[in-house]
Amino acid sequence: MSHSSIQYEEFKLSDDVLEQIKDFNNKNLTEEQSLLIDKLILNEKLKYLYKRNGLCKEYKTAYNWCQCIIQQNFKNWTSGNHEIDKFIQKAQLNYWGSFEWIEYNRFENVKYLAKGGFGTIYEL
pLDDT at position 64, please?
57
Length of the chain: 124
Contacts 24+ apart (CB under 8 A), 87-94: 89/1, 89/6, 90/6, 93/6, 93/8, 93/11, 93/65, 93/67, 94/8, 94/11
Model pTM?
A: 0.46
Alpha-carbon torsion 104, 107, 109, 115, what sign? negative
Q: Is the pLDDT of residue 30 over 60?
A: yes
| pLDDT band at residue 32 under the 50/70/90 scheme | very high
Contact 84, 116 (CB under 8 A): no
Q: Is the pLDDT of residue 2 over 60?
A: no
Higher pLDDT, 81 or 46: 81
Q: Which helix (H) or strand (E) holds 8?
A: none
As a whole number of angstroms, the longest Cα–Cα distance in the chain is 59
Q: Convert the pLDDT of each residue in 76-111 to its tens digit.
A: 778 888 888 888 777 766 655 555 667 888 888 889
Q: What is the CA radius of gyration of the chain?
A: 19
Burial string for 90-102 (b: 16+ CB within 10 Å, else e) reads eebbeebeeeeee
